[in-house]
Amino acid sequence: MKLTVIGQWGGYPKAGEASSGYLLEHNGFKLLMDCGSGVLSHLQHHVEATNLDAVLLSHYHPDHVADIGVLQHALLIQYFLGKNNGTLPVYAHGEDRRGYDTITYKDLMKAHEYKEDTTLSIGPFEVSFVKTKHPVPCYGMRFEADGKSLFYTADSAFKESFVPFGKDSDVLLCECNFYGGMDASNAGHMTSLDAGKLARETNAGKLVLTHLPHFGDLGQLVTEAKSIYKGEVLLAEKDMEVDI
């Protein structure tokens, strides 16, 4: 598997960059995890919209879904240019019906509902879900393919249920919206220390910090996470590629 960071900012994108969006590839299959503000623009440095095989959404906050509408427009325009590759499946939870109902678009994009107790086969990936602690319904995801695994926390405060769910994942893609010592739980987010604790307790092979704050010295997040987790810690950045 190869993970490419398209956008890594929490809340809104930094100038010239994007909020949450990650491209996961394996055996030629291209899956986009979340589609926040600015994602479509930067995604095109790696893959054309019409060449995506699937999209998977964690929840409906704008920093994770803002570019779904423009992705629909891209598919429509490319259809009129004769470059459509069929209906793009988008997997999302149905606990926010208003958000879920905006996904299906003409014959170009179709919503497919997932639930916490299901495992989906999406291309080469086996995908399972865990509910997070966030102000709105949101799901973390575990991807497995050919003996390798990725755990993406999406947006959440620390939850003990994450530990068995993410056990021994090769890569932990963990939200880190606050610095150590701050109160992140009430906002439904994690600190750098929470991320380090989760990586340690799941025995993750590698920790990638993402959904980053717009304040402070981001290098401090890595230092704080490393004070708890002794494995490799990376700070997500645009166009970063991680081999899994």
Please give the average per-residue pLDDT across 112-136, as a whole number: 97
Alpha-carbon dihedral of residues 15, 16, 18, 22, nearest 10 degrees? -150
Can you tell me whether residue 34 is helix, strand or coil? coil
CB 64 within 8 A of CB 57: yes
> Does 140 have pLDDT greater than 90?
yes
Q: Where are the extended beta strands (E) located within the chain?
A: 2-7, 21-26, 29-33, 54-56, 88-93, 109-114, 119-122, 125-131, 139-145, 148-152, 171-175, 206-210, 232-235, 241-243
Of the chain, the end-to-end C-alpha distance in Å amounts to 5
> Does 19 have pLDDT greater than 90?
yes
Q: Show the tokens assigned to 242.
A: 């991680």
Mean pLDDT of the chain: 97
pLDDT digits (tens, 9 = 90+) for 90-120: 999 999 999 999 999 999 999 999 999 899 9
Please give the average per-residue pLDDT across 31-44, as a whole number: 98
Q: For the whole model, what pTM was predicted?
A: 0.97
pLDDT digits (tens, 9 = 90+) for 149-163: 999 999 999 999 999
Spell out the domains of the chain, with CATH numbers in brackets. 2-243 (3.60.15.10)
CA 66 to each of CA 5, 12, 63, 127: distance values in angstroms, whole numbers, following the listed order? 17, 10, 6, 23
Share of the chain above pLDDT 90, in %: 98
pLDDT digits (tens, 9 = 90+) for 182-216: 999 999 999 999 999 999 999 999 999 999 999 99
> Does 52 have pLDDT greater than 90?
yes
Please give the average per-residue pLDDT across 222-229, as a whole number: 98
